[in-house]
């Protein structure tokens, strides 16, 4: 089976790389030089020395885009959303080739012509896997049947009808009670004592009869609904039991697979997933693109040069994966394996720290900031705050789910001695690059947050639109509202939307594109992206913004937080930060 592909299978032979800077690093601590040093040492130089890295470059992204175009031509790749990946490798003779992989199964198959095979071990448990999957499917179907129990709808219908009757009765009784109170006041002033006593007893009897009427309806309600409640409760208990069985079967299968799966690194060392993650690992570990690609390269004497992973097909269940977008190693399944998989590759030498004057770090074009990496340069630092030039593709803060924990905040918290005290003052979209401000203590965080809330922070973004804008400058004022059916998508909503205001100024028009500055006066989610894309704004999407309809093939979202101007809360002087636009 042919799995080594030529560049020309994906890109034109005359493709030229315009940007040599990596947009993301796959990384892990070298296991051959002592994990303990990398994990426990407070020396940043020690941490950097033992880190192994593999980049995602413009070339690997271009190859990935070529693969996307191939996938788009075949509908079978569009129905099931999953991660795909490519690995640029060098053969022993110096030639460069491309490997491609998919996560999990592709249309129910683990081995597909032209794609690298799964990590060894799946075949050993194939029969057991098929049997267990059949049992799991049977359990799933039984749970679905039990959830569709006809008595559930019957119970709901009857319950609603009784509630309606009780409400109508309560309204009628309340009206009668009010009439009785008025009648008591009238007869107390008009009837003789003997007649008054009889009249009051009649009113009290009417009240008692209404109480009896209500209790009878409640007893009837209980007599009708109680058997249904018991049946539904017994069914729910059975569903819970089936879910426990399903969970136990899944764990059993996963344990068997992980004991059989064997990963090999570039030192020639092989370990099972069970050995690598003895405390357990989530379903699907070992079936992701990155481990499959690196294992194959290590076992076939291929030197990895660059890798890129992207999502294709339907959006993920949680709507956090967008078709055509690049993603890094997932925190839950892949990242824990990176240190082992990359071991045997020669670690990159640590880059020197940039010069520091008056608390300011000047970023280097190759490295910068605490990590000595191009991906996270620090552009300003003092004892109260840090400003970094966030790369596109990296979250500002950890996400809600376990596979979205890698972020600027989590990285700095991991590496800085005072990192756990850090707090992000504001956020940038994952695909937006530029200045991100973090506070090193609570007081500074509170003071900076107040400046943002009171719109005292001057922000300038630079963007490229995927079309030619007619207006030279202007103001966009559109209310934004999150679409609950399509998160994180935002839309213009005049009834529920929150006010959002943006100034814009065209910088240049370049062929079929427009370069311009955005100055947001509010800070709504996706504000600039919606103001650009919506016909009531500019009506032109930002280049690379697939979420809002841009279909151009490009490596990133062309939106960059270029400038940030505010008053330093402790030094009490203006601070003007700038980050050069990378596109």
Do residues 506 and 540 make contact, with C-beta atoms less than 8 angstroms apart?
no
The pair of three-digit structure tokens given for residue 359, joined into one six-digit string:
């608390």
CA proximity to 312, closest of 116, 69, 115:
69
Which of 403, 429, 534, 545 is an active site residue? 429
Report the run of H or E that residue 63 belongs to, with start and end: helix 58-72
**The token pair that represents 549 in the structure block:** 């309809």
Residue 561's closest CA among 320, 421, 387, 409? 387
The residues, ordered by sequence, that sit 6+ positions from 180 with a Cβ below 8 Å of its Cβ are: 203, 206, 207
Distance CA 247, CA 241 (A): 10
Label the pairing between strands 433-439 and 559-567. parallel
Q: Indicate if 429 belongs to the active site.
A: yes
Closest CA relative to residue 480, chosen from 537, 539, 564, 546: 537
Residues contacting 63, CB < 8 A, separation 6+? 7, 10, 11, 86, 88, 98, 308
Which of 175, 176, 177, 163 minimizes the C-alpha distance to 217?
A: 163
Q: Please say whether the beta carbons of 457 and 565 come within 8 A.
A: yes
Question: From CA 66, how far away is CA 49, in angstroms rounded?
Answer: 35
For residues 537 and 558, the answer to whether their CB atoms sit within 8 Å is no
Strands 473-477 and 559-567: unpaired
Closest among 91, 114, 102 to 5, alpha carbons compared: 114
Q: In 3D, which of 417, 415, 427 has the Cα closest to residue 390?
A: 427
d(CA 155, CA 161) in angstroms, rounded, equals: 10
Backbone angles phi, psi at 160, to 5 degrees: -65, -40
Q: Are 54 and 303 in contact (CB under 8 A)?
A: no
Q: How far apart are CA 115 and CA 502, in angstroms?
A: 47
Catalytic residue positions, numbered:
429
């Amino acid at each position: 089976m042919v799995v080594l592909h030529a560049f020309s299978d994906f890109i034109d032979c005359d493709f030229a790389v315009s940007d040599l800077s990596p947009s993301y690093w796959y990384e892990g601590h070298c296991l051959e030089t002592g994990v303990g040093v990398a994990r426990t040492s407070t020396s940043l130089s020690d941490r950097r020395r033992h880190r192994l890295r593999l980049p995602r470059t413009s070339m690997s992204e271009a190859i990935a885009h070529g693969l996307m175009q191939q996938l788009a031509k075949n509908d079978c790749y569009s129905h099931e959303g999953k991660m795909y990946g490519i690995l640029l490798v060098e053969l022993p003779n110096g030639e460069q080739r491309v490997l491609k992989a998919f996560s999990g199964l592709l249309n129910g198959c683990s081995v597909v012509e032209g794609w690298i095979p799964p990590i060894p071990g799946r075949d050993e448990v194939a029969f057991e896997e098929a049997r267990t999957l059949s049992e799991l499917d049977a359990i799933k179907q039984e749970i679905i049947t039990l959830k569709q129990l006809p008595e559930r709808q019957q119970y709901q219908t009857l319950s609603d009808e009784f509630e309606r009757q009780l409400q109508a009765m309560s309204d009628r009784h309340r009206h009668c009670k009010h009439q009785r109170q008025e009648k008591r006041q009238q007869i107390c002033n008009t009837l003789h004592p003997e007649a008054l006593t009889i009249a009051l007893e009649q009113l009290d009897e009417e009240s008692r009869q209404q109480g009896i009427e209500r209790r009878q309806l409640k007893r009837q309600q209980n007599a009708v609904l109680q058997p249904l409640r018991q049946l539904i409760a017994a069914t729910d208990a059975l569903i819970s039991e089936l879910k426990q069985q399903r969970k136990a079967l899944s764990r059993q299968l996963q344990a068997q697979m992980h004991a059989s799966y064997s990963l090999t690194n570039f030192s020639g060392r092989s370990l099972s997933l069970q050995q690598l993650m003895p405390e357990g690992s989530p379903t699907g570990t070992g079936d992701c693109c990155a481990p499959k690609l690196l294992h194959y390269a290590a076992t076939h004497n291929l030197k990895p040069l660059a890798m890129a992973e992207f999502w294709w097909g339907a959006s993920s269940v949680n709507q956090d994966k967008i078709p055509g977008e690049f993603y890094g190693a997932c925190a839950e399944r892949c990242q824990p394996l990176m240190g082992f998989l990359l071991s045997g590759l020669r670690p990159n030498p640590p880059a020197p720290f940039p010069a520091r004057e008056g608390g300011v770090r000047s970023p280097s074009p190759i490295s910068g900031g605490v990590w000595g990496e191009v991906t996270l340069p620090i552009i300003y630092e003092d004892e109260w705050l840090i400003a970094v030039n966030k790369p596109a593709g990296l979250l500002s803060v950890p996400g809600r789910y376990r596979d979205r924990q890698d972020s600027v905040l989590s990285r700095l918290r991991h590496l800085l001695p005072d990192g756990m005290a850090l707090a992000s003052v504001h956020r940038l979209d994952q695909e937006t690059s530029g200045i991100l401000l973090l506070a090193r203590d609570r007081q500074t965080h509170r003071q900076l947050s107040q400046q943002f809330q009171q719109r005292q922070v001057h922000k300038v973004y630079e963007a490229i639109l995927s079309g030619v804008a007619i207006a030279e400058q202007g103001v966009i004022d559109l209310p934004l509202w999150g679409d609950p059916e399509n998160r994180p998508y935002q839309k213009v909503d005049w009834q529920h939307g929150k006010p959002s205001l943006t100034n814009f100024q065209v910088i240049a028009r370049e062929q079929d594109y427009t370069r311009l500055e955005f100055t947001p006066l509010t800070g709504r989610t996706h504000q600039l992206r919606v103001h650009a894309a919506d016909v009531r704004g500019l009506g032109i999407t930002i280049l690379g913004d697939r979420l809002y309809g841009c279909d151009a093939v490009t490596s990133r979202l062309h939106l960059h937080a270029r400038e940030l101007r505010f008053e330093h809360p402790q030094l009490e002087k203006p601070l003007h930060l700038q980050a050069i636009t990378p596109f």
